[in-house]
């Protein structure tokens, strides 16, 4: 989808666009700690695919930081309009319009990427979709590619903190298919997708940043 935000007609409303965009306070807080980990792993890659980009704040911030790579964002179709508004507004040459990707679909993209990034999406989508996320990864990840997954997880059946247990209750009350995922389940699914765990980074606010590498 190409949005023509900067046509003469739309430019009159340009100043209003930013205030109308979805905004995540959490993204503003976690983007720099995530960047610190990304900087260790983004060395000479040229392409990243982000799954579940949401408001697009991460996409804009990371595309600004890594000018030599193309940050391809994506989300389910119904979120694309506002996501692309933010992307268009950024005018970053390495941030193309977001693609429609629902991890439940067999085909995500005809292209392959060197790194896949997702933040705060696995506890929102259903467990079935989490499984589909890992089924889809090998089709779009280049050999020796990396997968970085940010969010909260539970370990050996236990939440890392009381606040994560409360967050899990809140998620499930909102949508019974959502919930903080088991680290062990994620690891099993990752292994089945040909991925090996490289790092489990403790992050602020009781989150983790898991780093996986494709083994072939």
Interface contacts to ligand SAM, rule CB under 6 A: 24, 27, 51-55, 58, 75-76, 79, 101-104, 119-121, 124-125, 129
Return the DSSP state at 96.
P
Q: How far apart are the first and last CA of the chain?
A: 33
- CA 159, chain centre distance (Å): 22
Rounded Cα gap, residues 51 and 43, in angstroms = 20
CA quadruple 216, 38, 133, 101: dihedral, nearest 10: -110
Which lies closer to ligand SAM via its Cβ, residue 61 or residue 212?
61
Return the DSSP state at 79.
G
Q: Residue 152 burial by CB count (10 A; 0-12/13-18/19+): exposed, middle or buried? A: buried
Which lies closer to ligand SAM via its Cβ, residue 125 or residue 137?
125
Q: Residue 72 burial by CB count (10 A; 0-12/13-18/19+): exposed, middle or buried? A: buried
The backbone torsions φ and ψ at residue 36, rounded to the nearest 5 degrees and listed phi first, read -60, -35
Of 21, 29, 168, the residue nearest 82 (C-alpha): 21
* Residue whose CB is nearest to ligand SAM in the complex, by number: 54
Q: How far is the CB of 120 from ligand SAM (least distance, A)?
A: 4
Adjacent-strand bridge partners of 212: 147, 197
Q: How far is the CB of 200 from ligand SAM (least distance, A)?
A: 18
Q: How far is the CB of 9 from ligand SAM (least distance, A)?
A: 29
Which lies closer to ligand SAM via its Cβ, residue 116 or residue 195?
116
Which lies closer to ligand SAM via its Cβ, residue 14 or residue 29?
29
Which lies closer to ligand SAM via its Cβ, residue 7 or residue 117?
117
Which lies closer to ligand SAM via its Cβ, residue 13 or residue 64?
64
Q: How far is the CB of 216 from ligand SAM (least distance, A)?
A: 25
Q: How far is the CB of 51 from ligand SAM (least distance, A)?
A: 6
Of 149, 17, 175, the residue nearest 81 (C-alpha): 17
Q: How far is the CB of 109 from ligand SAM (least distance, A)?
A: 12
């Amino acid at each position: 989808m190409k949005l023509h935000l900067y046509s003469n007609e739309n430019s009159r409303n340009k100043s209003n666009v930013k205030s109308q965009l979805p905004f995540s306070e959490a993204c503003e807080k976690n983007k720099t700690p995530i960047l610190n980990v990304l900087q260790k792993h983004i060395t000479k890659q040229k392409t990243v695919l982000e799954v579940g980009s949401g408001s697009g704040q991460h996409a804009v911030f990371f595309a600004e930081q890594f000018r030599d790579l193309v940050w391809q964002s994506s989300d389910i179709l119904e979120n694309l309009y506002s996501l692309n508004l933010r992307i268009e507004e950024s005018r970053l040459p390495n941030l193309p319009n977001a693609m429609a990707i629902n991890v439940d679909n067999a085909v995500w993209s005809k292209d392959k990427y060197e790194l896949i990034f997702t933040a705060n999406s696995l506890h929102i989508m259903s467990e079935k979709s989490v499984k589909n996320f890992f089924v889809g990864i090998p089709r779009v990840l280049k050999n020796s590619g990396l997968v970085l997954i940010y969010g909260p997880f539970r370990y050996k059946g236990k939440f890392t903190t009381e606040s994560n247990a409360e967050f899990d209750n809140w998620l499930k009350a909102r949508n019974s298919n959502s919930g903080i995922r088991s680290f062990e389940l994620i690891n099993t699914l990752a292994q089945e997708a040909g991925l090996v765990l490289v790092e489990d980074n403790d992050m602020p606010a009781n989150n983790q940043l898991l780093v996986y590498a494709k083994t072939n």
